[in-house]
Structure 1
């Protein structure tokens, strides 16, 4: 009888210890919902949220491919914190830290992803700030691009999280939500009957990738600011399409870092990267007349042939340009929010210019400019 009681006591002690060991992990997982996005700073450990690290598998082999986040020398993003999303052990593109109610509402919204009144701000809240990765993954699945291009799902998920992380969350306008909005608008254009019946799977892949990465690592200031402050990127790209070249190179860098297309022949992979660059470079507003003149010329001569790959590429360029500046065409409540965000980003640049004694750029003076006069001068 005495030995039986001792054994019972041992089991009780064992269970108590297990509860103490397991409960903190459970609490951490549940408490991820509602966490603010990790802040970035110059010190490597200052703002890292170590609570996310406990979600990784105990094996170092499984942690290191996801945890090693090297910052690229030319990036505006000086440090990329370890994202909890990258530590998710699931091989499926799921929302790891959302409860069923929010995930269900997000899925319901995706049923109407081709609607022009799609509320990207609501969708971003429902996905806990993961609108870009979630939306892009959905479109890859919807078009069957994973099977068509034999993409590794884990590599795709890693790539989507990387591009979402490489947008600057502190930018009022040029952030991951804007990229998600442009991607959704691009999808609307790709669904136009005459265009959708002519596009190849490669065209669709490039269109979605270009929309998702078209403003990658945007610093929140314009090209003229980089030129007049002698930024190294302005020198690197000889003051020509500085930001667009950087967005393109950043996208290629992340494609290679994630290894998403490494299974393709080298020639095909290089061709995809060059065509991706051609699409992203078309978003340069300073070259807008060049693309418009070319497009008008085809329309006037009525010789636009969507069976011609070069003509399809031109149409994709125009579609991405339209998607990038389509905010005034959205429903008023959405358009109004975007107007306020782009104006705030302009004003932030003007504040920096004043602080350093630089000439304030047009439409960037908080004291002189207003939302209405900025909107009549710019299409954002």
Structure 2
């Protein structure tokens, strides 16, 4: 049957209650000439859109928050459905609602700038920063068109990834993943990369950045080994990184996002994804840094070589993963407090179980300043000096400048533990799952 020109309305039975979802929008009816498209579009809402009525026993505040969080999905599903009908091209696909997410959408215009405030963006998107940012980058690069991706499966996959991060972790949560993904995008724009990388390289780089710490338990590898954790029995080395990789593969396969591609391409992509994620193992820092420095000394990096491009992507992801000290001080200090809080939480658990407290995890003998000075001097600075040597761009030297400022800041902080100064503003992020 033909659809009314101004009102699309269908009753929906949702787990939490019954609702009537309506859309008074003449534009939508014009975009769908046949009712099957409309029912297809609206049936998808059953999956992701919360009931607009208040189920019995649910407070008005909780219902209001639930409905607010659904607005992004509502807008995106409508627009994805438009694109299926060919009226909107993926290049012009706007994924943020112009009314409720106008400020976030405005921020995304500056997503390639190094002072991008991921904390503010996360608040504006109501804790959905990883999904919103990654979708925007996929659209910027035209990856949906290039690889024939189903936008709805892509959205579902990214939601699963975001929910796979534990919001209880002060640092290793989906906000960190969003920050690393944004940093990776900045690096992908560097001339030596942008002029050489293939579409596959870019797809892998963004996927690796978004999933590199997936299902992180909030403790380090030594903790897992000491406590005979089941993950330690699954993998011989790089326990956490292998877990992140396998978790990413599980979500990728279950989502069916790449199921339409040849199996050889999928297997190759999965191996390359693992290569990138495994490179973030901090215990392999010297291995990668020595190899990177040797290449730069010999001047033999050839970006037309798939092997060399993969290596540079590994180095880019390593830089993105630990780039916090190279951000502006207002952002860097927030991350410093978050990671220190997570370290100290692990130390508290170890002390409670009468285990030896891991290095950097004892709140009685460490402080944010002590940890950051050591981390910058021995881990961050050696890596970013070589990265700047490779890129030799304003961004790479800008990062070194911020790093020196932050190093000086923590040196001036002395032995004081400044944890309480920024916890409330920096470590408080919106719930994103368990």
Equivalent residue runs for 1:233-312 within 5 Å:
233-238=231-236, 240-312=237-309
Q: Is the 8 A contact 2:113 2:186 kept in 1?
A: yes
Q: Over residues 189-220 of structure 1, what are the superposed CA-to-partner deviations in whole Å (9 max), with x where a residue is unaligned?
A: 00001210100000000000000000000010
Could you say if the C-alpha distance between residues 106 and 329 of structure 1 is closer, same or farther in structure 2, counting changes exceeding 3 Å? same
- Counterpart CA distance in 1 for 2:371 and 2:21 is 47
What are the equivalent positions in structure 2 for 1:90-239 lying under 5 Å apart? 90-92=77-79, 100-238=98-236
SS of aligned partner of 2:101: helix
The match for 2:341 is 344
TM-score scaled by structure 1? Answer: 0.77
Asked whether 1:316 is paired with 2:316, we answer no
Q: 2:369 pairs with 336, 349, 372, which one? A: 372
Structure 1 residue 92, shift from structure 2 partner: 3.5
- Displacement of 1:61 after TM fit? 7.7
Partner of 1:359: 356
Q: Which has the higher contact order (CA 8 A, sep 6+)?
A: 2
Aligned mates of 1:151, 1:55 — CA distance in 2: 30
SS in 1 for 2:366: coil
Question: Does the 8 A contact of 2:238 with 2:278 survive in 1?
Answer: yes
Q: What's the CA shift string for 1:318-358, capped at 9, x where partnerless?
A: 00000000000100000010000000000000011011111
For the residues of structure 2 that align with 1:91 and 1:153, how far apart are their CA atoms?
11
- 2:325 is equivalent to residue 328 of structure 1: yes
In structure 1, distance between residues paired with 2:273 and 2:146: 18
Deviation (angstroms), 1:297: 1.4
Are residues 159 and 366 of structure 1, via their aligned partners in 2, closer, same or farther at CA, if it must alter by over 3 Å? same
Task: Tell me by how many angstroms 1:263 deviates.
Answer: 0.3
Distance 1:55 1:334 in 2: 43
User: Within 2, Cα distance between the matches of 1:125 and 1:186?
Assistant: 21
Runs of 4 or more consecutive aligned structure 1 residues displaced over 4 Å after TM superposition:
53-67, 83-89, 93-96, 98-102
The DSSP-based 3-state class of the residue aligned with 2:355 is coil
Kindly tell me: are residues 95 and 85 of structure 1, through their superposed partners in 2, closer, same or farther at Cα, counting changes over 3 Å?
A: farther
Please give the secondary structure, in 2, of the residue aligned with 1:90. helix
Relative to structure 1, the CA distance from residue 327 to residue 229 in structure 2 (aligned partners, 3 Å threshold; closer, same or farther) is: same
CA gap 1:113/1:87 in 2 versus in 1, 3 angstroms: closer
| Structure 1: distance between partners of 2:196 and 2:20 | 45
Superposed CA deviations along residues 20-50 of structure 1, whole A, max 9, x for unmatched, are xx9xx9xx9xxxxxxxxxxxxxxxxxxxx94
Contact kept? 1:120, 1:177, Cα under 8 Å: yes
The 1:292–1:181 alpha-carbon spacing in structure 2 relative to 1, beyond 3 Å, is: same
Q: What does residue 8 of structure 1 align with?
A: none
Aligned positions, number: 317
**Structure 2: gaps of 5 or more residues:** 1-10, 23-38, 50-68, 81-92, 381-434
Rounded Cα–Cα distance in structure 2 between residues aligned with 1:369 and 1:121: 26
Tell me if the contact between 1:252 and 1:273 (Cα under 8 Å) persists in the aligned partners. Answer: yes
Distance in 2 separating the partners of 1:290 and 1:54: 57
Checking the alignment, whether the CA contact within 8 Å between 1:182 and 1:211 is kept in structure 2 is: yes
Query: Aligned partners of 1:56 and 1:219: how far apart in 2?
Result: 38
SS in 2 for 1:369: coil
Provide the rounded CA distance (Å) in 1 between the counterparts of 2:97 and 2:155. Answer: 20
Contact 1:247 1:280 in 2 (8 A): yes
Query: What do residues 73-132 of structure 1 show as CA deviations (whole Å, max 9, x unaligned)?
Result: xxxxxxxxxx96898592546999x87454111111111111000000000001110000
Give the Cα–Cα distance (whole angstroms) in 1 for the partners of residues 354 and 340 of structure 2: 21
**2 CA distance for matches of 1:277 and 1:219?**
19
Kept after mapping to 2: 8 A contact 1:120/1:181: yes
- TM-score, structure 2 as length reference: 0.68
